[in-house]
């Protein structure tokens, strides 16, 4: 953190490498559009770098970054909703819903579990759940038999269930010791 606060490029890269996926998850959950997600992530890390000297030593960096990402996403959404010069649609009020810390934590845990999968299993999960492709299209895209896709999917889901079991039970979730199963975990199901 001392190197990050001083603006050391290697430290900034390490912080991005470690937390970039989680910040992207926060941004994606709030803004949705890929080009806006990229903007939110870039602005989040820029703001964090600029404010690094004010970060209290000994605190956990993740919640601080998530907070910056949420505020940045709200700012980007507000900017996008403003009318532009010339022809534009009439203004409409759009509700900006923020996700709770618990939801952010769950999304981070799911993203981390997916990132921890072997590459071939991770590819199947991402094509299936992020892009929404059926097994037949995944097999075609990856150039493997459909049976291979199904077995990789089954192995990946077993690994994810083991890695994310604590979310279903409510254990180890910040601020929610005895809550019911998370909807985030329920979305990790096999689409066969």
What mean pLDDT, rounded, does the chain reach? 78
pLDDT of residue 139: 92
Whether domain 101-186 has CATH 1.20.1600.10 = no
With 80 as the cut, is the pLDDT of residue 181 above it?
no
CATH number of 2-81: 1.10.1740.10
Looking at per-residue pLDDT, the higher value among 171 and 123 belongs to: 123
Q: How many CB atoms lie under 10 A from the CB of residue 177?
A: 9
Where do the domains of the chain lie? Answer: 2-81, 101-186
In this prediction the pTM is 0.45
Q: For the chain, how big is the Rg over CA atoms in Å?
A: 19
With 50 as the cut, is the pLDDT of residue 175 above it?
no
Looking at per-residue pLDDT, the higher value among 35 and 192 belongs to: 35
Question: Which structure tokens are listed for 159?
Answer: 């690994």
pLDDT of residue 151: 94
DSSP string for residues in the chain: -HHHHTT-HHHHHHHHHHHHHHHHHHHHHHH--HHHHHHHHHHHHHHHHHHGGGSPTTS-HHHHHHHHHHHHHHHHHHHHHSPPSSS-PPP-----PPPPHHHHHHHHHHHHHHHTS-HHHHHHHIIIIIS---HHHHHHHHTS-HHHHHHHHHHHHHHHHHHHHHHHHTTT-TT-TT----HHHHT-----
Pair 170, 179: CB distance under 8 Å: yes
Question: pLDDT tens for residues 88-146?
Answer: 565 566 666 777 778 788 888 888 888 889 999 999 998 888 788 899 999 998 999 99
Question: Which structure tokens are listed for 75?
Answer: 């700012």
């Amino acid at each position: 953190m001392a190197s990050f606060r001083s603006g050391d490029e290697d430290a900034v890269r390490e912080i991005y490498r470690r937390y970039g996926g989680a910040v992207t998850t926060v941004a994606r959950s709030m803004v949705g559009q890929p080009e806006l997600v990229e903007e939110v992530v870039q602005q989040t890390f820029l703001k964090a770098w600029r404010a690094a000297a004010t970060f209290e030593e000994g605190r956990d960096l993740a919640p601080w970054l998530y907070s910056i990402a949420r505020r940045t996403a709200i700012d980007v959404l507000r900017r996008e909703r403003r009318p532009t010069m010339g022809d534009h649609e009439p203004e409409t009020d759009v509700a900006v819903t923020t996700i709770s810390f618990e939801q952010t934590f769950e999304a981070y845990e799911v993203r981390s579990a997916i990132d921890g999968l072997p590459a071939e299993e991770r590819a199947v999960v991402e094509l299936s759940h992020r892009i929404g492709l059926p097994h037949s299209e995944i097999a075609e895209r990856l150039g493997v038999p459909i049976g291979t896709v199904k077995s990789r999917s089954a192995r990946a889901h077993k690994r994810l269930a083991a890695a994310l079991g604590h979310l279903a039970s409510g254990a180890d979730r910040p601020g929610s010791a005895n809550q019911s199963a998370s909807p985030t975990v329920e979305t990790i199901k096999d689409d066969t």
